Structure 1
């Protein structure tokens, strides 16, 4: 079973992408989605967050919501707003944010390869979120949100994508937030063959973001069964070379000091960390260093020698901070469930950490050095999972740029 294959993408009609594409369904709540669709009747949020078209008190997991999403998708196809390509293609997809570009491949990935761990994961999934995506896929008979994959950079694949992206794009949109989304169709037989061979030679792909979407695709395929070449045995994804993808920091805040005053807390921290007050923000510049904001002051924490294990999960900064500080000193053993801890993606900046502590909402904040793609792949290769809230990827893929119909 090959890792990937081309597919007949469902795309915005020429000139309509700007009206259609939307942020991923899971980066906003219902109230925010309702605001985002105001004056935008073609926003893909009508498909991915269809509760926006139902009464305000509608349960977002009600049967009517999934049915409405399927209805909206069918209407956009019938109206010619979305059109399906006549023959299977790959697509080059470039994201540009703050002057930095990453160029990836839109594909469908093999569910069987995912089940066999050739498409590797690094997170646990939640059943409720899986169930939501299963119902969305099954009711709409489509995969409308791509899984974000990464692959080890290879000149063979980079070369084809670079060549493809020199031509006239099928869509070129600057979305809200200033991110530029550009798509090219790759339909030449020779290019398709070269891409398939280059990816197959890699042997494995890695899920960066979209664990619930890929797990849901696997469940839908198992439920439907049927021939191995059926569309539901493949799931929508975009894969980027690992040397172009940037992981941002994912920072931590705690509501209290677990009964300690500031002096006693710092004394406990000093058992495993060197503490140095700094002027301005203490943004970490290397692994095993952390920023801490406490009592109106930033501190640089440096883990003392001899405390970093060799295993791929234990050596992560998120693991080290938890092992030596958050659990033993602040008493948070389960960061997935403990309400005393919160997480802020690096896109918000360290100023957000300082603001929330200064407001009295939180007692202390920690800034982390970003996890590397090499560390993520090492964890996945070892068959392990990352601690919660270890990675924050920017920019985000757009929903609606390319979708995958399952019939």
Structure 2
């Protein structure tokens, strides 16, 4: 049964939240980061990029300690405050397409992660897990929740619907034209109902944030071993999460761009593709797949539709039905010679929220030779792969919503 607890969030004051909130550190170019920090002294980027203060690149343990120092300075200056009692936080995002996402920010259990109550569908890199664990251990906080998804639940839905009728604690719009709202739930009755609703769920799934959750689990193990008086309810036994119902989750595809044809001519490449796909040349007509197991391809100024020959391909399990896996097993590995999707420099990815024309333009500019468009995976596919203990290839899903960092902070 899932253990999803309230916690005492550290968060910006109402008047500064729009200035503090930032996208994830990695999503900015260096110039973008510097520009935001030049003109906004309250940006959370000042905390996670402490070298900016000294105009110096700082890494490793030295950086972690300075991140901790910047964070404490934000608290000392009362840019951040901490709630007096454990709360749940209703968080709502309305994006520029007017899609709405509503969920609860809470503390999820590292023990549930270990025991497969919280299930994963992606492999993680051990080096990244350990690096982020050491980062968390030094800085003592987490400011970016893991995205979890749960089966739609009427009790939780009714509480959220009631809460959002009153004025939000936070309401601000970003330059991306997404509007963010946050409400605090502190009354004991609602807290009990939410906790009980989650405890009735046998399984919750990680949608986004596999490395963060894995690192939080490793941190909990380390701190448990270091604590002779471990009780199980210490804050390090939990990690901050944003839990949304499955119906609110949006999954987009990641398209693939390849730099060469592995020594093949265009004609030789198409002949090898023909073994696995029924191929149709669509010329300059922009084509995007509209069904599972259909792919688009852009090569030398022309679009192609590729329909999988199902009599040739065996669907042995849930993973083998995933289009990202199908493309890897039929094209990327055997024909184009791409063995490792994480490390091969010949392949890059473009998420499906970017128009297919962006793939076309990169190929027309000779930056890449061929591009493949995929049909997005579904929540059901993601769950079945996780339930069978399988792992998706890297960049199989681009998932929304995307939260801002620094709005709620979880201290260990």
- On whether the aligned pair clears a TM of 0.5, the verdict is yes
Distance in 1 (alpha carbons) for counterparts of 2:43 and 2:84: 24
| Equivalent pair of 1:131/1:216 in contact (CA under 8 Å) | yes
- Select the residue among 399, 404, 407 that pairs with 1:401: 407
Alignment of 1:171-186 (within 5 A): 171-186=170-185
Cα distance, 1:143 vs. partner?
1.4
Q: Which one is further off, 235-244 or 134-143?
A: 134-143
Cα distance, 1:34 vs. partner?
2.6
| Equivalent pair of 2:107/2:239 in contact (CA under 8 Å) | yes
| Equivalent pair of 2:21/2:406 in contact (CA under 8 Å) | yes
RMSD: 1.6
Q: In structure 2, what is the equivalent of residue 277 of structure 1? A: 281
Q: TM-score by structure 2 length?
A: 0.94
Cα distance, 1:55 vs. partner?
3.0
CA deviation vs aligned residue, 1:53-109 (integer Å, no higher than 9, x gap): 3433x24x3222111111111111111111111100001111111110110110000
Distance in 2 (alpha carbons) for counterparts of 1:354 and 1:47: 38
Q: In structure 2, what is the equivalent of residue 222 of structure 1? A: 221
Name the SS for the 1:243 alignment partner. helix
Name the SS for the 2:43 alignment partner. coil
2:134 matches 1:128: no
Name the SS for the 1:71 alignment partner. helix
Give the gaps of 5 or more residues in structure 2: 225-229
Distance in 2 (alpha carbons) for counterparts of 1:62 and 1:224: 20
Name the SS for the 1:384 alignment partner. coil
Distance in 2 (alpha carbons) for counterparts of 1:297 and 1:15: 52
| Equivalent pair of 2:2/2:202 in contact (CA under 8 Å) | no
Cα distance, 1:372 vs. partner?
0.9
Q: Which one is further off, 25-34 or 351-360?
A: 25-34
| Equivalent pair of 1:287/1:317 in contact (CA under 8 Å) | yes
Name the SS for the 2:68 alignment partner. helix
Q: In structure 1, what is the equivalent of residue 202 of structure 2? A: 203
CA deviation vs aligned residue, 1:3-51 (integer Å, no higher than 9, x gap): 2100011111122111100112332355543333221111111223333
Q: In structure 2, what is the equivalent of residue 141 of structure 1? A: 140
Cα distance, 1:308 vs. partner?
4.5
| Equivalent pair of 2:2/2:200 in contact (CA under 8 Å) | no
Q: Which one is further off, 131-140 or 8-17?
A: 131-140
2:230 matches 1:232: no
Q: In structure 1, what is the equivalent of residue 337 of structure 2? A: 331
Alignment of 1:39-54 (within 5 A): 39-54=39-54
Distance in 2 (alpha carbons) for counterparts of 1:268 and 1:168: 60
Q: In structure 1, what is the equivalent of residue 90 of structure 2? A: 92
| Equivalent pair of 1:246/1:393 in contact (CA under 8 Å) | yes
Distance in 1 (alpha carbons) for counterparts of 2:385 and 2:53: 41
Q: Which one is further off, 223-232 or 40-49?
A: 40-49
Q: In structure 2, what is the equivalent of residue 268 of structure 1? A: 272
Give the gaps of 5 or more residues in structure 1: none
2:192 matches 1:188: no
CA deviation vs aligned residue, 1:121-144 (integer Å, no higher than 9, x gap): 111212332233223211221111
| Equivalent pair of 2:249/2:401 in contact (CA under 8 Å) | no
Distance in 1 (alpha carbons) for counterparts of 2:294 and 2:4: 39
2:304 matches 1:305: no
Distance in 2 (alpha carbons) for counterparts of 1:308 and 1:107: 41
Distance in 2 (alpha carbons) for counterparts of 1:93 and 1:156: 17
2:375 matches 1:376: no
Alignment of 1:1-80 (within 5 A): 3-28=3-28, 30-56=30-56, 58-59=57-58, 61-80=59-78
| Equivalent pair of 1:169/1:184 in contact (CA under 8 Å) | yes
| Equivalent pair of 1:124/1:385 in contact (CA under 8 Å) | yes
State the aligned residue count.
404
| Equivalent pair of 2:2/2:204 in contact (CA under 8 Å) | no
Cα distance, 1:176 vs. partner?
2.6
| Equivalent pair of 2:91/2:103 in contact (CA under 8 Å) | yes
| Equivalent pair of 1:24/1:396 in contact (CA under 8 Å) | no
Q: In structure 1, what is the equivalent of residue 227 of structure 2? A: none
Distance in 2 (alpha carbons) for counterparts of 1:20 and 1:32: 15
